[in-house]
Amino acid sequence: MKDHLIIGTINAITYKETFKRIMAGDTVLGYHKGSMDFIVPNHYRETYVKDGVKYGTLSNIC
């Protein structure tokens, strides 16, 4: 068994392959309320810059 992390919208649980894994107990849902910030490459549109590091924000993910 491999450990993995999938970041996506809550709507992803309706995808056929994802739902099948959740029902089989192979994948569990996490929860995060609000947005999450990620360091993004220079060519991405930034949400904000802090200490010279460019960040992007994603909302509606779990």
* Cα–Cα dist 62/55, whole Å: 18
- Stretch 5-14: mean pLDDT, rounded? 75
Structure tokens at 50: 């802090």
Flag whether pLDDT at 1 surpasses 60. Answer: no
Q: Is residue 19 part of a domain?
A: yes
Residue 21 within any structural domain of the chain: yes
- Cβ-contact 55, 40 below 8 angstroms: yes
How many distinct structural domains can be found in the chain? 1
Summarize pLDDT for 27-54 with one digit per residue, the tens.
877 766 667 788 888 888 767 888 988 9
Does 53 map to a domain?
Answer: yes
- 37, part of any domain: yes
Please name the residue ranges forming H helices in the chain: 16-24
- Flag whether 2 is in a domain: no
Kindly state whether residue 4 falls inside one of the protein's structural domains.
no
| The pTM of the whole model exceeds 0.85 | no
